[in-house]
Amino acid sequence: MNNDIFQGYKGDALKVLQQYKVRVWGTATIDTTRGVFEGTVLPRAENDDDQHIVIKIITGYNIGIDVTTIKTMKETGYKKANYKIPEKEFPITPGLPKVKLFGTGGTIASRLDYRTGAVIPAFSPGELYGAVPELADICNLETEKVFAVFSENMGGKQYVSLAKAIGAEIEKGVDGIVIGHGTDTLHHTGAALTFMCQNLPVPVVLVGSQRSSDRPSSDAALNLMHAMKAAGHSDIAEVMVCMFGPTSDEYGLLHKGTRVRKMHSSYRSTFRTIGDTPLAMISRKEITPIKKNYNHRRNDKKVKILPYFSDEVTMLYYSPGMKPDVLDAMVDAGYKGIIFVGTGLGHVNKELYPAIERAHARGVHMFMTLQTIWGYVQMFVYDTGRDMMAKGIIPAGNMLPEVAWVKLSWILGQTNDPEKVKEMMLTPVNDEITLREPYNGYLVYQGGVPEVEEFIKKVHK
């Protein structure tokens, strides 16, 4: 008997199944010291212990049987589950825009993975149409799986292949592009694609979901509809992140790829534009622009694809009392670019100065960003700031730390010339540094304050 018959089982549990010749997906009667149990033996998640066998009982529930209590067991039948999202051919409707969906992994459409006990993505126009038939009213859809990685495993290699894929697709004359993406690093990818795909003629929309589509309250379907709508119908030809506005199933927001950040580990409304307003609100019915200035959709194909990325850039998140050996270690490890995430207006302690000088002497490019997330780096206010600038750290304005990391990586993929690097870093491609912060660019309300409570009650969260 090969291992697949006992999917996921190991150690004692595997021995018991082998001893009684009971397979995964076999229906079994199990006599134990706690009584008799009947059900279908299910695969076991890899990281669970080897002391239990999982069965699905007739009422649909799963239970575990302790192998040490088993007196005897017998396979009485076999019924393998065929887990499949119903696939239907995606209908083509003349007159609707042509949208390409790139799959990268993530939870837009997913199914159970017994290996890990988690969910894995399912993906094809047919599967998507089976799960979200409304998509056919929005656009004519094509899909392509560019790669399949979890969001946290995305990196430079993936950004480069996505940028190239976008270039190729625009060349073919698509009306809009949607990229399905895990949410953890959605905003990193948003920034990377903004730098790599310049002068876009069509919208490129990144979308994910905070709740996997295996649950009825998932935000996946609505996010996907919003994203398709934005890609196919909106006039905004930029790299955008499209996710829930409120946690309610009401409308989505289109965020600039360079100004968006994931701000909550689990909320549906986790993505927020930082230091500015979002580009637009989007519902299934309409797109309501918020920002007046944006890059408009065009009929040409003159996109500039700049698929460069260096893996020699890292970040240093400062903590009080930090010792210079941390920075030294980064430099010794060969990093050519370091994004500092400093306190307040952009500070680190004096103890780091020798290490900063050493890094500068070695030609390491250093930029300062902020732990406060909101606001501008201002290194003239205090002496320490001026000291640091003198030692080679360049303030990066109100560029978000993650965006600065992405941008420096992208630049160092192209040049190593300090002046060129500095100029490119400080010249915004698309609002990664803005000249002004509007009064409504920083809104973090505090619960409990009467007028805030009144507002929360009136406006859907």
Partner 1 sequence: MQFDPKRNYEDSRKKTGYVPREKATREVYDKYGFMSGLEVHQQLLTREKLFCHCPAGIYNKSDDFNAELIRHMRPTLSELGEYDGTALMEFKTRKEIVYHINNENACTYEIDDTPPFPINRQALEIALEISLLSKLNIVGEVHITRKQYLDGSIPAGFQRTAILGVEGEVQLPHKKIRLIQLSIEEDSCREISDVGHRRVYKTDRLGMPLIETVTYPDCATPDEVKEACDYIRFLNRSTGKVRTGIGAARQDVNVSCKGGTRVEIKGVAHTKWIPGLTHNEMFRQWALLQIKKQLTKKVKDIAGWRVNTVEVVAGTLQKKELLPGNNKIVAINLPGFKGVLSHFTQPGKMFANELSDRLKVIACLEKPNMIHSEELEPLMDEATWDKIKKQLKAGINDAQFIIWGDEADIPTAIETVEERCKMAFDGVPPETRKSLEDGTTIFERVLPGADRMYPDTDSAPIPLQNEYIEELSANLPSDIINRYKQLKKWNVPEDTYTFIFSKNLFPLMERIIIDLQVSPRFLGNFLGHRLKFTLGQYQTAEGFKFTMLYPLFRFLKESGLREELALRMIPELVQHPKMEFDSILNAIKFKRYTMDEITDKIPILIDKFAEGKDTVSETDLINFVMGQLRNMALGNVEMKALSDAITGPRYMDK
The Cα–Cα gap between 439 and 432 comes to 18
The Cα–Cα gap between 359 and 366 comes to 8
405 interacts with partner 1 by CB under 8 A? no
35 interacts with partner 1 by CB under 8 A? yes
**Any residues with CB less than 8 A from the CB of 3 and at least 6 apart, and which?**
none
Q: How far apart, in Å, are the Cα atoms of 80 and each of 46, 56, 77, 338? A: 19, 12, 10, 53
**Binding span for partner 1 by CB under 8 A among 77-85, 164-172, 255-263, 398-406:** 77-85
Nearer to partner 1, 390 or 456 (CB): 456
- Shortest reach from residue 130's CB to partner 1, in Å: 9
The Cα–Cα gap between 229 and 234 comes to 7
215 interacts with partner 1 by CB under 8 A? yes
59 interacts with partner 1 by CB under 8 A? yes
88 interacts with partner 1 by CB under 8 A? no
212 interacts with partner 1 by CB under 8 A? yes
57 interacts with partner 1 by CB under 8 A? yes
Single residue of 185, 209, 213, 310 touching partner 1 by CB under 8 A? 213
Which tokens go with 407? Answer: 């941008």
268 interacts with partner 1 by CB under 8 A? yes
126 interacts with partner 1 by CB under 8 A? no
Which tokens go with 447? Answer: 């619960």
299 interacts with partner 1 by CB under 8 A? no
The continuous run of DSSP H or E covering 326 comes out as: helix 324-332
Nearest CA-CA partner of 368 in 345, 388, 394: 394
334 interacts with partner 1 by CB under 8 A? no
119 interacts with partner 1 by CB under 8 A? yes
63 interacts with partner 1 by CB under 8 A? yes
Q: Is the Cα torsion angle 384, 389, 392, 395 positive or negative in sign?
A: positive
Nearer to partner 1, 63 or 329 (CB): 63
- Shortest reach from residue 304's CB to partner 1, in Å: 40
Single residue of 64, 289, 375, 441 touching partner 1 by CB under 8 A? 64
- Shortest reach from residue 229's CB to partner 1, in Å: 16
The Cα–Cα gap between 241 and 26 comes to 45
Residues designated as active site: 107, 183-184, 262
Q: Classify each residue of 293-303 as buried b or exposed e, where b means 16 or more C-beta atoms within 10 Å of its C-beta.
A: ebbebeeeeeb
**Contact pattern for partner 1 over residues 428 through 457, marking x by CB under 8 A:** -------------------x-----x--xx
- Shortest reach from residue 212's CB to partner 1, in Å: 8
Strands (E), 377-417: 393-395
Nearest CA-CA partner of 387 in 443, 336, 348, 337: 348
Q: Is the Cα torsion angle 224, 229, 232, 234 positive or negative in sign?
A: negative
Summarize as ranges the residues that interact with partner 1 (CB under 8 A).
Answer: 32-37, 48-49, 51-52, 54, 56-69, 81-86, 111-112, 117-119, 131, 211-218, 221-222, 246-250, 264, 266-268, 447, 453, 456-457, 460-461
